[in-house]
Amino acid sequence: MIYFKNISYSISHVFLMLFLYLFITHRYSKTKTMGICFGSFLMLSISDCLKLNIFPDSDVCYLLVTVFQILVTQSTGIFISKERNSRVLFMGLSASNYVIAGSIVPSILHIYTGDIIIALVGSFFVHSSILYILYSKIRNIWLEQYETEYVKSWWELCLIPVFFYCGFSCLAFFPHTLYDNPDNILGTLVFLLTMFTSYVVVLRYMESESKKKDIYWQNVLFESYIKGLEDQYYLVEQSEKNLKILRHDMRHYSEMINYLLSQGEYDEIKKITAYINDVADENKVVKYCSNLIVNTILSKMMERANHYQIAVDLDSQVPKELTINDYELSSVIANLFENAIICVKDFELEKRTIQIKIHCTQEHLLIQMKNEYKDPITLDSLTGLPKSKKGKNHGLGMQSVLAFSQKIGANTGCYCENGIFQILMFAKLNQ
């Protein structure tokens, strides 16, 4: 019986480490991450010997070892994770619950069949089935929530797996096992079903909320895009009207120039030609790049910068066709451009400058923005991007930038040096 429990617990620990490995993005290489998970597996297995083999009748030993194993498990998830926050803790606690589900099955099979082999094979089958179903159905939803910041804090959500874990422990393991109270089997199975249903409902709800936020920000971008097109249409219409007037009046200007030439009034001729050039320049439609959507956003932001008398050194090379989403790229450019405008708009006139470089090809994307700053800029220790000082519900623009950066696999960083703030995003596309 003791060996049956040892093997059953070892199977559960193997799948526990698999859950952590598959459902958490890694900070380290695959080899190092697997080594860390294997080390944790050994600690869990060795500690099992204390409560199962050396002190099998000690409730104190069982409780202390269980607490130790919880700490090892959750520390492993946090240690191997690229992001170290409440979302990782939620995943680690959830992994423990999923594994408990597979740990209960061998006890139930052993109680009803009395056959250790059937119980262990059943345990492996249930563990594998749960892992396969969750990997194929929920993993992508979870990773999307894990890698973005649609939910600010997961500490409250962590209470869900905590209470489920405590409930399972009291029903099936401690202080009395299912062997002692087989009447608890039905309640335990219903509790299992409740847990899986609750997780699916919660994750689906969060997926729905994140999509609503995506749609909202897309609508904001589309509204800005449409407004930009309307502005450009108005400018083109006005330019065409003014240039028609200029072409109509050119005959009169030509006659005036000919008359002034005959009189030798060269200074007056220069004034007339300067006026014609000024009218032509005023009615020239500026094209910042070949991509219509990006050009529209740049036109809109340049209009805002001109309103605040900000000198913008813009180097934009974006082709008509892109391998990445035009709207998402435009949103990122608009967010970064707007942040730079907000930062410098109240400076002295000579310091209101922004340097922008946007180069995009089929192979790579480079976005670089520089501007001066006065107030201290706080960078997030996890993302490396600036944190909003306005509190809750602010800083969504940088979250959008971060989500886009992660989606295309870009390297994004911020630098503050000698009063100059710089943000740089570089990505190799079509990898």
Residue 426's identity, in one-letter code, is F
CB count, 10 Å around CB of 419? 10
Q: Which fold has domain 286-431?
A: Heat Shock Protein 90 (3.30.565)
Q: Are 115 and 125 in contact (CB under 8 A)?
A: no
pTM of the full structure:
0.53
Alpha carbon distance 177, 175 (integer Å): 7
Given this model, what pLDDT does residue 392 score? 45
| Lookup result for tokens 């703030």 | 421
Q: Is 153 exposed, middle or buried (0-12, 13-18, 19+ CB in 10 A)?
A: exposed
Coil, helix or strand for 81?
strand
Q: Are 424 and 370 in contact (CB under 8 A)?
A: no
292 phi, psi to nearest 5 deg: -60, -45
Q: Are 326 and 362 in contact (CB under 8 A)?
A: no
Alpha carbon distance 165, 159 (integer Å): 10
Axis-axis angle for helices 2-23, 139-147 (nearest 10): 60
Residue 70's identity, in one-letter code, is I
Given this model, what pLDDT does residue 425 score? 93
Q: Are 84 and 78 in contact (CB under 8 A)?
A: yes
Q: Are 146 and 87 in contact (CB under 8 A)?
A: yes
356 phi, psi to nearest 5 deg: -130, 130
- The DSSP output letter for 362 is S
Domain ranges of the chain: 2-182, 286-431
Given this model, what pLDDT does residue 394 score? 42
* Nearest by Cα to 172 from 98, 112, 107: 107
Handedness of CA 378, 383, 388, 391 (dihedral sign): negative
Alpha carbon distance 97, 189 (integer Å): 13
Written as tens digits, the pLDDT of the chain (431 aa) is 567 788 888 998 999 999 999 988 888 898 999 999 999 999 999 998 888 888 888 888 888 998 899 899 999 999 998 877 788 888 888 888 888 877 887 788 888 888 888 888 888 898 898 888 888 877 876 776 665 555 555 777 788 888 888 888 788 777 777 888 888 888 888 888 888 787 777 777 766 766 666 666 666 656 655 665 566 656 666 666 666 666 666 666 677 777 777 777 778 777 778 876 776 665 555 678 888 788 888 888 888 899 999 999 999 999 988 888 887 888 889 889 988 999 999 999 888 999 999 999 988 999 999 999 888 777 766 666 777 655 444 456 777 788 788 888 888 888 888 889 999 999 998 75
Which residues face 313 on adjacent strands? 355
Token duo for residue 411: 């390297």
Alpha carbon distance 292, 289 (integer Å): 8
